[in-house]
Amino acid sequence: MRYLHTMVRVTDLDAALKFWVDALGLVLARRIDNEQGKFSLVFLCAPYDLENAKINQAPLVELTYNWPRENGAEVLTSGRNFGHLAYQVDDIYAICARLQAQGIVINRPPRDGHMAFVRSPDNISIELLQKGPNLPPQEPWLSMQNIGEW
C-alpha cells in the first residue's frame, strides 16, 4: 500500500491557492479542469516532493473545487470540506475482501476493478485505488451496491 493524497473541498479556488501556494509554499504538481463534471482538481505538494509527485502522483494534497451551479456555489458544512485519504493498493479485490472479513463495510465496492471507498471507525473516508491497470470486473464486487456515504 502506498499513500497517495488527502482531498480537501474548497469553496473559492483562488483564495485556496493563495493560502496553500502563496502563503504555505506548496507547489502545483497537476491540475485537472473537468468541463463536463463542472469541477477542478488541483494537486499540490511540498517543493521537495515535486519531482516524486510528478512521477508517482504522490504525496499530494488534492484541492477539489466544484464549480458554482445555477443555484450558487456548493455549501460546505462543518467537516464536509475534508474529503478523503487515498492509498494505492496492489490488489483492490484482495484488500476489500480482507477488510470485509474484518467486518468493515465497503461503502463503494470496486465494481470497476479500480476504486473502492471504506470508512474508518471515526468516519474518515478512505479511497483505495488499484495500482496499474484496472482489474477485470468480477463478483461479488460487480453486483454490490453503494452503502451509505463515501
* Catalytic, out of 51, 62, 74, 127: 127
102: left (phi over 0), alpha (psi -120 to 50) or beta: alpha
Active site includes 35?
A: no
Nearest partner of 116 among 148, 98, 90, 141, judged by Cα: 141
- Cβ burial of 47 (10 Å; 0-12, 13-18, 19+) is exposed
Catalytic site positions: 127
